[in-house]
A and B are shown apart, each in its own frame.
Chain A
């Protein structure tokens, strides 16, 4: 393998394995603390109030619920839209691959 390829390969591997260290080298300056936001649950009721409280209690559960709900809703809504599209009377399985 030519020498420059092995160098390039080494650089890419280093970037993949240690991106933080490579780009953040020489750091140390203090960053301002993250601004803490609190949901105002006084005006919320039912599911919205539960959601607001979950957010206020900690972001881990909030994040877990979010990353579960988003793809699930995507799949459900996608399947529903699929049902609607299948009623259009067009072929939804094949297409001709052509650039021009």
Chain B
């Protein structure tokens, strides 16, 4: 079965290439659906396939840029990308990312890097998961209350509404973002993107995992537009990351291109699936993905604290990540297939009825 393995010209390791296509496909689906690059899924996946860790990170970042571009193109056609907001946020994201990267070097010098990064990751993911499910619970309560009084809730109503307070910050220039349907101080998206970029720089991730919830809960933009706009950001920051990692010689372009073949299809499926799933469906599954990611990091932390159980916890962390990726991509794939089937049925039915009328 030699033809199933291809030699990577730079890393010099033979890689099972169908694994790269499958990984790209799965992460493409999840990325297009949630608006994130998915570094937490791809890096361990590439490592398992045989890439040294430095190449796994660099190759992941490079493929992330191409994949997010594909998803952004598709989301853009649905009107899900707020380019004005995205362009303003780019400055904050890049500034924050550099600040985070510098902080990592400082932590490296004082020798606290691994512990700080992992614990920060756990705290942050706990906060995000809490935010998602607290929001869902509050929205349900509002729905019940509206039902009890015989009213109907606005389709765009949300549970947590922190953004309303943040929109009251009146520091000029005030900007209207038509696509997102918000008006706020330009410093709000810049500040939020700086903070999320800083976190991404510290954690060594693309940033979608923190930026997507920040766009929803702090900026108050609809879920679908948060997903599309975040992908635009991921594409730009991914390209920036690809440039820096390739300059450091840690990108395997061939692997990134093979992954892109799977990701091109997966990203389209994930993006189109957002058409058939309501905002809160996306939020709930995003929360579950965050929990999956958090569990895998807790297991990595446990293996550091208890070296005796390291082989078990490392395996369990891998199984958790791959299980979360497979389970969530399967859900999105089913939502996509069901949606396409129903839409085609609806499109066909008027013709059938008009034929009967004739």
* A interface, CB within 8 angstroms of B: 1, 5, 9, 12, 15-17, 19-20, 22-24, 27, 29, 31, 34, 37, 39-41, 43-44, 48-49, 51-52, 55, 59-60, 62-63, 65-67, 69-71, 73-75, 77-78, 80-82, 84-85, 88-95, 97-100
Contacts and interface: CB of A to CB of B under 8 A. Distances in A.
29 contacts: A12-B191, A19-B99, A22-B102, A24-B105, A31-B109, A44-B9, A48-B254, A49-B9, A51-B9, A55-B10, A63-B246, A69-B257, A70-B62, A70-B260, A71-B65, A71-B66, A73-B257, A73-B260, A74-B65, A75-B69, A81-B264, A85-B268, A88-B344, A89-B344, A90-B347, A92-B77, A95-B274, A97-B156, A97-B224
Given A23-B103, A90-B344, A95-B275, A74 B243 contact: no
Contacts of A20: 98-99, 102
B139 interface: yes
Contact of B261 (A5, A16, A17, A77): A77
B349 to A, nearest CB: 13
Interface in B236-258: 239, 242-243, 246-249, 251, 253-254, 256-257
B31 interface: no
Pick the most buried of A39, A59, A90: most chain B CB atoms within 10 A of its CB: A90
Interface residues of B, number: 77
Contacts of B261: 77
Contacts of B194: 12, 15-16
A55 B239 contact: no
A99 B10 contact: no
Given A66-B62, A66-B246, A90 B268 contact: no
Contacts of A88: 340, 344
A1 B67 CA distance: 43
Interface in B128-154: 139, 143, 153
A31 B256 CA distance: 30
B247 A59 contact: yes
A20 B242 CA distance: 20
Contact of B251 (A5, A15, A66, A100): A66
Main secondary structure on A side of the interface with B = helix
Given A16-B95, A23-B99, A74-B67, A99 B260 contact: no
Nearest to B348: A89
Interface string B113-130: 000000000000000000
A27 B282 CA distance: 44
Contact of A95 (B65, B78, B143): B78
A52 B225 CA distance: 41
Contacts of B98: 19-20
B350 interface: no
Nearest to B61: A70
- Please provide the 10 A-B residue pairs with the shortest distance between their CB atoms, ordered closest to farther: A74-B66, A19-B99, A99-B279, A77-B264, A78-B70, A74-B69, A66-B246, A63-B246, A23-B102, A98-B155
Contact of B66 (A19, A31, A73): A73
B246 A59 contact: yes
Contacts of A41: 9
A20 B98 CA distance: 7
B70 A29 contact: no
Interface in B72-92: 73-74, 77-80, 91-92
Contacts of B347: 89-90
Given A55-B10, A70-B65, 8 more contacts: A9-B171, A40-B12, A55-B9, A70-B253, A70-B260, A71-B65, A90-B272, A100-B279
Given A19-B99, A75-B69, A99-B155, A67 B246 contact: yes
A12 B187 contact: yes
A62 B25 CA distance: 26
Contact of B278 (A51, A62, A93, A100): A100
A55 B249 CA distance: 7
Contacts of A81: 70, 264-265, 267-268
Given A9-B187, A19-B98, A19-B102, A99 B222 contact: yes
Pick the most buried of A15, A23, A24: most chain B CB atoms within 10 A of its CB: A23
Contacts of B66: 70-71, 73-74, 77
